[in-house]
Chain A
Amino acid sequence: MNLPYRVTLEKRLDAPRIVVWLVPVVSILVALAFGAIVLAVAGADPLEAYGQILTGAFGSLTAWLDGEFYAVSETVVRTVPLILTGLAVAVAFRMRFWNIGAEGQLVFGGVFAAWVALFLPGVIPGIPQTLWVYLPLMAVVAVAGGAIWALIPAFLKAYLDVDEIITTIMLNFVAILTYQYLFTGPWKDPEGQGFPGSALFPEFTWLPRLTGRVTLGLVLALAAAVVVWLIFDHTKLGYEIALMGENPEAARYAGVNRAGIIIVVMVLSGGLAGLAGFTETAGISHRLQQGLAIGNGFTGIIVAWVAKLRPGWIVVVAFLLSALFVGGDQLQISMGLPASIGAFFQGMILLFILGGDVFTRYRVKVARRPAAVAVEG
Chain B
Amino acid sequence: MTDTAPIAVALRGITKTFPGVLANDDVDLEVRRGEIHALLGENGAGKSTLMSVLTGLYQPDRGQILIGDETGSLRPVTIVSPRDAIGLGIGMVHQHFKLVPTQTVAENIILGMDGVPFVLDMGSVEADVAALSERFRMPVPVSAFIWQISVGEQQRVEILKALYRGAEILILDEPTAVLTPQEAAEVAATLRALAGEGKAIIFISHKLDEVMTVADRVTVLRKGRNVATVDVGATDKHRLAELMVGREVATTIDKDDGAIGPVVLRIDGVVARNDRGIVALKDLTLEVRAGEILGIAGVAGNGQRELTEVATGLRRVEQGTVTVDGEDLTNRPPVRFIDAGVSHVPSDRLGRGLAGNLPLADNMAMKAYRRPPIAAGPMLRRDRMRAFAGDLIERFNVDTPGPDTPARNLSGGNQQKAILAREITAGTWARERGRRPVLIAAYPTRGLDVGAIEDVRRHLIEQRSGGTAVLLISEELDELMMMSDRIAVLHGGEVMGVVAPAETTIEELGLMMAGEMRR
Contacts and interface: CB of A to CB of B under 8 A. Distances in A.
Interface of A: 6, 8, 10, 12-14, 16, 233-239, 242-243, 246-247, 249-257, 365, 367-370, 372-377
B367 interface: yes
B355 A377 contact: no
B375 to A, nearest CB: 6
B96 interface: no
5 A-B pairs with least C-beta separation: A255-B335, A377-B74, A246-B355, A247-B355, A254-B366
Contact of B379 (A236, A254, A375): A236
A233 B59 contact: no
A375 B380 contact: no
B356 to A, nearest CB: 7
Contacts of B75: 372-375
Interface string B364-386: 01110110000100111010000
Interface in B283-339: 312, 314, 333-335, 337-338
B409 A13 contact: yes
Contacts of A372: 75-77
A257 B20 CA distance: 38
B76 A257 contact: no
B78 interface: yes
Nearest to A374: B75
B74 A249 contact: no
B511 interface: no
Nearest to A248: B355
Contacts of A252: 314, 334
B59 A10 contact: yes
A174 B375 CA distance: 41
A250 B19 contact: no
A238 to B, nearest CB: 7
Contacts of B138: none
Interface string B134-145: 000000000000
A373 B76 contact: yes
Interface string B71-83: 0111111101100
B78 A239 contact: no
Given A14-B19, A243-B366, A370-B76, A234 B59 contact: no
20 contacts: A6-B80, A6-B81, A10-B58, A12-B19, A13-B21, A234-B382, A235-B380, A236-B370, A236-B380, A239-B362, A246-B356, A246-B357, A246-B358, A250-B353, A251-B355, A255-B335, A367-B80, A368-B78, A370-B78, A377-B10
Given A370-B78, A372-B75, A377 B354 contact: no
Contact of A253 (B21, B77, B346): B346
Contacts of A239: 362, 365, 369, 380
B283 to A, nearest CB: 26
Contacts of B66: 375, 377
B352 interface: yes
The bracket for how many chain B residues form the interface is 35 or more
Given A236-B378, A250-B353, 20 more contacts: A6-B81, A8-B80, A13-B20, A14-B19, A239-B362, A239-B365, A239-B369, A243-B358, A243-B366, A249-B351, A250-B366, A253-B314, A253-B346, A254-B338, A369-B80, A372-B77, A375-B73, A376-B74, A377-B68, A377-B72
B362 A255 contact: no
B14 to A, nearest CB: 15
Contacts of B20: 13-14
A13 B18 contact: yes
Nearest to B18: A13
Interface in B1-55: 6-7, 10, 18-21
B270 to A, nearest CB: 20
Contacts of B58: 10
A367 B56 CA distance: 11
Contact of A16 (B19, B338, B367, B369): B19
Nearest to A255: B335
Nearest to A5: B80
B367 to A, nearest CB: 7
A365 B78 CA distance: 13
Interface centre among A237, A246, A376 (most CB of B within 10 A): A246
Contacts of A249: 351-352
Interface string B335-348: 10110000010100
B378 A367 contact: no
Contacts of B355: 242-243, 246-247, 250-251
Contacts of B351: 247, 249-250
A16 B356 CA distance: 18
Contacts of A251: 355
A236 B10 CA distance: 55
B335 A257 contact: yes
Given A10-B58, A372-B77, A234 B356 contact: no
A308 to B, nearest CB: 13
Contacts of B74: 374-377
B350 to A, nearest CB: 8
A234 B386 CA distance: 13
A252 B59 CA distance: 39
Nearest to B405: A14
A333 to B, nearest CB: 46
Given A367-B80, A368-B78, A234 B379 contact: yes
A242 B361 CA distance: 13
Nearest to B350: A247
Contacts of A256: 335
A347 to B, nearest CB: 28
B438 to A, nearest CB: 15
B83 to A, nearest CB: 9
B379 A242 contact: no
A247 B356 contact: yes
A211 B355 CA distance: 46
A367 B78 contact: yes
Contacts of A365: 59
A250 B354 contact: yes
Interface centre among B66, B75, B77, B80 (most CB of A within 10 A): B80
A235 B380 CA distance: 4
A344 B369 CA distance: 45
B382 A233 contact: yes
A370 B81 CA distance: 15
Nearest to B21: A13
Given A246-B355, A376-B73, A377-B66, A255 B19 contact: no
Contacts of B354: 247, 250
